Chain A
Amino acid sequence: MEKVKQKDLILYSGLIILGLAAPYLFSAFKVQLTYLCVLIVLAMTWNLQGGEMGYNTFGNILFYGLGMYLTASVQVGMFFPLAEWTESGGEKTFVHTTAQYFQGIGVGLLVAAIIPTIIAGAIGYAILGLRGHYFAICTLGLGIAAGEIAGGIEIIGAGQGFTTPPFPAEIVDAEARGKFFYFLSFVLLIGTFVFVKYIYGSRFRLILNAIRDNEDKAEAMGIQTMKYKIVGWMCSAFFCGLAGGIMGGLIGYIDSTDVAFDGREMGVFMVLMAILGGKGTLWGPVIGATLFHFFKEGLWTLILGWQYVALGVLIVVIVVYFPEGLMGWLREKYPERFGEVIDEKDRKAQVELK
């Protein structure tokens, strides 16, 4: 066990060094790297429900959008009247000082982590009794409803959208904003990874897996499944809220249905990335999100106008050829490398049986 950990340590420190150096090595790609971090976070948290617990949720976008609006609202509202900021589509402009900007975003992110978590608890209590498709459809509705509702609330800009506070002008370095958001998202990514890895080594994961494999049996074993399902979802909401808050600041403009509660894109992407990489694995969503992001950034502009067709083809290919994702495929191909002991005799016996 200890030996494995040491090898992991090399891998992790390598990745962290790469992550820290990335914005300097690939200075022009800072925004894309920030997106990548956020995408990985979203895929990993989706995997907690979709992969580990077997509850395919389309509702995580709700927490992402909430986090976005909350961070921006707090950041503005802490120092200036929020209603005037958003009134008439943001005609009044107040200028945040450097200190105000960072204090605002700090408190904003805190709120963006806590409130979605509470809301996840409340909604989870109401709907996590649903199973299978019913749960999926219900959560799909949540995201869409949230978008429409947010589009009608005047104080957060309604249909006009919400321009988030601009990065303080006193910081002259044009690269500073990119670096700030990159490191923010990188810290979030590390936090999420550590947390999910911790869950992977805990009894909690086994319970989630038990729920996935047979919820009734799990209940019969004396597990209060509802409690664990809710807690699981709250964990996801915590990180999704933070991810949303960071993205809102980075994009600079929040639109109710296209940016915040963007179920059609982000909401689908997070599912797709987790499945591409392999749901129910620690590294699957990370690999899936990375590959997906590269595919998207690298190829989409080459096939201008056809990118969604290509995405559709990609989805079909994934589902048909890699139903278990890349990690699942690798695991099937090279089970030994995943630490699975194969009894040759047993394998042969199975082949003969077939």
Chain B
Amino acid sequence: MNKIAKLFVTFISAITLALVSFTSSFAKVEGEYIVLGSAISLTGKYSSNGVHTQNGYNMAVERINKMGGVEVQGKKYKFEIIYYDDESNPKRAAQLAERLIKQDGVHYMLGPYSSGLTKAIAPVTEKYKIPMVEANGASRSLFTKGYKYLFAVLSPANQYLEVAIDLAVEKNGGKGVKIAQAFEQDAFSQDVRLGILDAAKRTGSEIIIDDKLPKELNDMAATLAKVKAVKPDVLVVSGHTKGALTAIRQISEMKVDVPMLAMTHCDAAKLSKQHGKKSEFALCASQWHKNLSYKDKFFGSGKKYAKDFQKEFGYDPPYQSAESSAALLVFKDAFERANSFDRDAVRDALVDTEMQTFYGNIKFGPGGQNVAKPMILFQVRCKGDDCENRVVAPTKWASDKFYHPIPKWSERS
């Protein structure tokens, strides 16, 4: 037993040494760098959107740094981001937020991808009074908790597809419609569902299928079989990227005819590229589209952003990337207006944010959500085999008319 005790003492002292050597202190502002922290899903079920988010952040960091950086008290600073992989797991995300703040000394945070992970991180940033500008947590429950240090550049999730129901009702001559819906079991998708429930109530529509989809989403045949049987007017599906891909794949395989298909995450899933004509006529909610007429001096217009992004990363930017880039523009603006690195001064500056970016207008409501920007709807339209997302609502930016109803599969070539 004595030897074991010795072994233990060695072991414990090794750990102690390791821990002590770990505690090298970082600072919020290091030399000419302003260090931001972010836990992002690089692996796991949100990895594709996590990468979109990270690309958006990186693109903005590079651009802002190249164009002179952030000027605070007459000195130029550059942005730098410390990333960790949260593995698409809220538990890990909360732990990493703690780590970024306590061990890496980060004083300003960028959000993770998805509402669930933002929900896990927000209590931590709130506790340490760390301002967090997030671009991918849309669940409206984030904005009713009274968080003071949380700022979201996007519109709440319940607004995503409400407009789609209004459109369907309008096409139905103002009468209520029959809705079939299937949502992933996660914070974001369930919030989209709440929006639909509200819209259905408001328009006198009836929900005839209300299914839940598992988190590891790769099959929704059961829901689609029901849809085939009961023939709803609208089919609503939301389940991040996998939800959009699964829906299109199985709808085309099972030849499900439904007059209107409303979804989320079509652009993140690169639907028009991956599924081409099969995805035609899908109606998608989006926070942003490159054809919108917003502008700023860093990225120019949405179209220019899309072009630069394409050059850098090799694909068309989904809104997840655009809003992530916008988050950094917000931070830059806030730092310069605060003209200080005091967290509370920066936080107060964030509260007063009122600006236009290529991504849209940004102004934060009392709960921290962006109240200055509407959601848009686009529809996938094809010319030959070349498919594109065309904005159909709101009318201000609509480049195309909303095509309704979707032709039957037997009539589609």
Which positions in A face B, CB cutoff 8 Å?
Answer: 4, 7-8, 10-11, 14-15, 18, 25-32, 35, 88-93, 148, 151-152, 158-161, 163, 166-167, 174, 177, 247, 250-253, 255-259, 262, 265, 283, 287, 290, 294, 298, 300-301, 304-305, 307-308, 330, 334, 337-339
> 14 other contacts beyond A161-B90, A307-B85, with CB at 8 A cut-off?
A7-B5, A25-B19, A89-B191, A93-B144, A151-B214, A159-B183, A160-B187, A166-B126, A247-B91, A258-B90, A259-B90, A262-B91, A290-B15, A300-B85
**Complex contact A29–B19 (CB within 8 A):** yes
Q: Which of A27, A159, A307 contacts B43 (CB 8 A)?
A: A307
Q: Which 6 A-B pairs have CB atoms at the shortest separation, nearest pair first? A: A159-B185, A337-B3, A89-B141, A252-B123, A28-B102, A253-B120
A88 CA to B212 CA, complexed, in Å: 15
Interface segment out of the listed B92-100, B296-304, B372-380: B92-100
Chain B residues within 8 Å of A247, by CB: 91
The answer to whether A11 touches B119, judged by C-beta atoms less than 8 angstroms apart, is: no
19 pairs of residues in contact across A and B, judged by CB atoms under 8 Å: A11-B8, A15-B8, A25-B16, A26-B19, A35-B95, A89-B187, A91-B141, A148-B214, A160-B186, A163-B145, A174-B129, A253-B123, A255-B187, A257-B185, A258-B88, A262-B91, A290-B11, A301-B85, A305-B42
Interface centre among B8, B43, B94, B127 (most CB of A within 10 A): B127
User: A262: which B residues are within 8 A, CB to CB?
Assistant: 89, 91
Contact B102 A8 (CB under 8 A): no
Residue in chain A with minimal CB distance to B89:
A258
Tell me, in angstroms, the Cα distance from A262 to B87 when the chains sit together. Answer: 13
User: Residue of A at shortest CB range from B123?
Assistant: A252
Q: Tell me if B2 is interfacial: C-beta within 8 Å of chain A.
A: yes
| Neighbour of A91 across the interface among B2, B124, B140, CB < 8 A | B140
Task: With A93-B145, A161-B119, A163-B145 as known contacts, state yes or no: A305 contacts B85, CB within 8 Å.
Answer: yes
Residues 160-199 (chain B) with a chain A CB within 8 angstroms: 183-187, 189-191, 194
- Is A338 within 8 A of B4, CB to CB? yes
Chain B residues near A (Cβ < 8 Å): 1-5, 7-9, 11-12, 15-16, 18-20, 22-23, 42-43, 83-85, 87-91, 94-95, 98-99, 102-103, 116, 119-120, 123-124, 126-129, 139-141, 144-146, 183-187, 189-191, 194, 212, 214-215
Q: What A residues does B7 contact at CB under 8 A?
A: 330
Complex alpha-carbon distance, A14 and B139, angstroms = 48
Contact A90 B212 (CB under 8 A): no
Is the beta-carbon distance between B83 and A304 smaller than 8 angstroms? Answer: yes
Contact indicator B43/A252 (Cβ below 8 Å): no
